[in-house]
Structure 1
Amino acid sequence: MTFERKEIQYSVGVEDLYICMMSGSETADAIPTYDEIIYQQTNISDVTISTTTTNFVKWASNKKIINITKNTAFSLAFNLAGLDREVRDKIFGKTRTKGISFDTANPFEYPKFAVGCIFPLSDGSKLARWYPRCVMTPVEEKYTSGTDEMTVNDVTYTITADPLLYNNNTMAELDSGAASAAGIKVDDFMKQVICDESQIATLFPGA
């Protein structure tokens, strides 16, 4: 055996938030379509990403012979310094007439959208991610009186990233430092929602 010492990479922050609304109805027969506009917001204070997993274990002959984990969804908890009002209304499904909207107690399904994030690493490379099927959860709001000391309070938004109906994908990730990623730029990865392996050859033909 031989030893090989590898340099480690670690996260050094989080960059912009990307949001792109899903257009039309999602089906199990085709890749979903998205709006032409991708909203880019410089507003993330921090984000916590957790998974909803189920685990199946099978024992036989006094041995654990199967240990299967299924990731059914991601929970994205964002602390945001702010959010554009147009983007906020779209992800919460608010329709305004003369600036006025109404919330009711009727059953309601939040609009679906894709969320993108970029995480820079210590070696200068970046992780870029798309979560292609996201929905909002209701937000707790808090408003406080202004004081002599100026503060900007973060607002916490919790987003659930579910599997796509078409291919069961929950996330697409580019590691720009991977050897196989040569020729693919993070900026190009973020120009459209990546949600299926079939897009790679079409969007990055020279890579």
Structure 2
Amino acid sequence: MRAHLGVAVTLLAVVLTGCAGAPSDGQPTTAPATTATPTASPEAGAAETTPPAPEPAAHAIPTDCASLIASTPFAATFGSWPLNDPSVVGSPDGPYYTPTGSIAPTSAPSGATLLESMLAATELRCVWRDPQADITNLSVEIGQADPGVSAPYLQSLPADGFSCTQEAAGQTCVKSETETKYNVEIGETVLVRDGVFIRVSQANVSTPGLLDTLVSDVWN
């Protein structure tokens, strides 16, 4: 399955060189009586201005799971596993149904956690997993993030063992640990950027460069 500035006002000083008379504000001058060059007075009470917030980069939520990794090395690794297999994600009539592929966002259920509230906005969910696998899998979720949900969710992650980095484009949080039952590495990565989230969960699979690939898919 499946990351997001002050103004200093400089007041110009009045430079008077050798003025024999009085300066423009009517106060006497102590400048030597040599050649005088009149200068303009600075504007009083210059208003502070705030630069406009940067526009979000152009992006589009992908609509096809297979195309996310079609031209990368991942197509030959986890990309060879069954994708969105019904026996893994269930069916609409079953108790463990997880809608996959290109899907419509939904409202978060009553009492939902921050993560559940964010993932309710998922627009593309992809699950690569063999039905016979005990734990090995990878999933990607991508959608439009409500800042009122994604911001506090990201703020909560360091307390849960995530390491987060803030960049101009957004924020990325990563967590990696060893699953004790099967003794394999499991990990989770969350990126929030320009109002979009990407969440990747994986177990027993190495995916260096995957997040960069997904970012290219969204911000192309």
Interval containing the TM-score (normalised by the shorter chain): under 0.3
More helix by share: 2
Q: TM-score, normalised by structure 1?
A: 0.24
